[in-house]
Structure 1
Amino acid sequence: MIYGYARVSTQDQNLDMQIKALKKYNCDEIITEKKSGTSLDRPALKKLLETLRKDDTLVVYKLDRISRSTKHMITLSDHFKDKSVKFISIKDQIDTSTPMGAFFFTVTTALGQLERDILSIRVKDGLEAAKNRGVQCGRKKGMTLENKRKCAYAYDIITKLRKNDKTSIAQVLKDQGIARNTYYRYVNEYKKNNPENQGELF
């Protein structure tokens, strides 16, 4: 049997291109799945791997359609060897039925892992270099004390305005030099810490 496996990450993505390519390999059956490549729960692939028998062939459009990581690809490679199953990746030009194809498959998975490791190191080095230059990485720090004081003052003014049915809040914030997002951030924090005082502030 020649099986084809096609996968896309979301329900909105289209499988047509992969299926068209797989049909050129005269697949007896094409299994499709709409699941993220990083998902451990891929029932169609799991069932297919259990179905494969000696001398069967599994064809995919590209390695990343079947594998979620280099480690996973190596596991699949061992699975195919144990079952004497041929594996073909069209775009990667891999065919494990030939000695050169099997070798290239092993090298490709190893290089993929190496590339990921190098990228990870570069990201870490870049963050460290940015940190040494004084660049703030990660989440922004909390609101400054000065901004809190400004917001508290604006809060007091706006509360009084609302009591008099005057709702020119935007003007108050402008006069105080307070960004709208900063003010609402303060209000949300205030409400969280003062649940007994939930006035309408917008």
Structure 2
Amino acid sequence: MKIGYARVSTGLQNLNLQEDSLKKFGCDKIFTDHISGAKSHRPGLESAIEFVRSGDTIVVWRLDRLGRNMEDLIRIVNQLNERGIAFYSLQENISMDKASSTGQLMFHLFAAFAEFERNLILERSAAGREAARARGRFGGRPEKLSNDDLRLIKTLADSGTPIKSIAERWEVSRTTIYRYLGKLN
């Protein structure tokens, strides 16, 4: 059985082109979403995935209608494949079915592209952090207490002021006070 899935991002768009193409291809049932692909919760897609059975094929108009990004697409298609469900994209004319040699090749290519995309993201993130460090920005949450505060806190703690009182004065937890005092020793 061929099960169609169509999605548009905004209420201003309509599903007519996708639905017509899916019907022409012979889809017996079509599930739809009017929601951004960036959203992880897509009720129509979830219903389609729940509806299909082993031996069925999920059909989309274009690959970008199914996954938010390459990694998401790979995850969804692999999930389908584990259940014995094939996948087909009309515009790209891509059929992914692990039962065929071509389908297996496509899965390996998609997996390689997904890994490549993840590695590029990691490299860009590392380069961005390095550039920020070179400019004196180290990220993370700003320190709650200044050096002057720390000197005063140490003096108070050394003179016997209860840690609870010190913590209340600076509106921090006792754990925070102990942590800062531990750094000073």
Please tell me the TM-score bracket, short chain as reference.
0.5 to 0.7
User: Unaligned regions of 5+ residues in structure 1, if any?
Assistant: 135-202
Native 8 Å contact 2:6 2:31 kept in 1: yes
Matching residue's letter, 2:106: F
1:73 partnered with 2:112: no
CA distance in structure 2 between the aligned counterparts of 1:110 and 1:66, rounded to whole angstroms = 19
CA distance in structure 2 between the aligned counterparts of 1:13 and 1:95, rounded to whole angstroms = 27
1:111 partnered with 2:131: no
The residue correspondences of 1:1-80 to structure 2 (distance < 5 A) are 1-80=1-80
Per-residue deviation, 1:61:
1.4
Per-residue deviation, 1:119:
6.2
Per-residue deviation, 1:28:
0.5
Native 8 Å contact 1:94 1:102 kept in 2: no
CA distance in structure 2 between the aligned counterparts of 1:130 and 1:81, rounded to whole angstroms = 42
CA distance in structure 2 between the aligned counterparts of 1:102 and 1:93, rounded to whole angstroms = 15
Identity of aligned residues (%): 36
Q: What corresponds to 1:100 in structure 2?
A: 102
Provide closer, same or farther for how the CA distance between residues 22 and 51 of structure 1 changes in structure 2, counting only shifts above 3 A: same
The range that moved more, 71-80 or 19-28, is: 71-80
Q: Which has the larger radius of gyration?
A: 1
Q: Deviations over 1:84-142 (max 9, x none)?
A: 1111012232212332133213313431452464367458758977998x9xxxxxxxx
The range that moved more, 119-128 or 87-96, is: 119-128
CA distance in structure 2 between the aligned counterparts of 1:57 and 1:64, rounded to whole angstroms = 17
SS of the aligned residue for 1:88 comes to strand
Instruction: Indicate the RMSD between aligned Cα atoms, in angstroms.
Output: 2.9
The range that moved more, 118-127 or 49-58, is: 118-127
Native 8 Å contact 2:6 2:15 kept in 1: yes
Matching residue's letter, 1:69: N
Q: Deviations over 1:37-86 (max 9, x none)?
A: 12122111111111111111110112221112333223222321222111
SS of the aligned residue for 1:24 comes to helix
The two structures have a TM-score, normalised by structure 2, of: 0.60
Native 8 Å contact 1:62 1:90 kept in 2: yes
Native 8 Å contact 1:88 1:95 kept in 2: yes
Native 8 Å contact 1:94 1:105 kept in 2: no
The residue correspondences of 1:152-167 to structure 2 (distance < 5 A) are none
CA distance in structure 2 between the aligned counterparts of 1:105 and 1:14, rounded to whole angstroms = 31
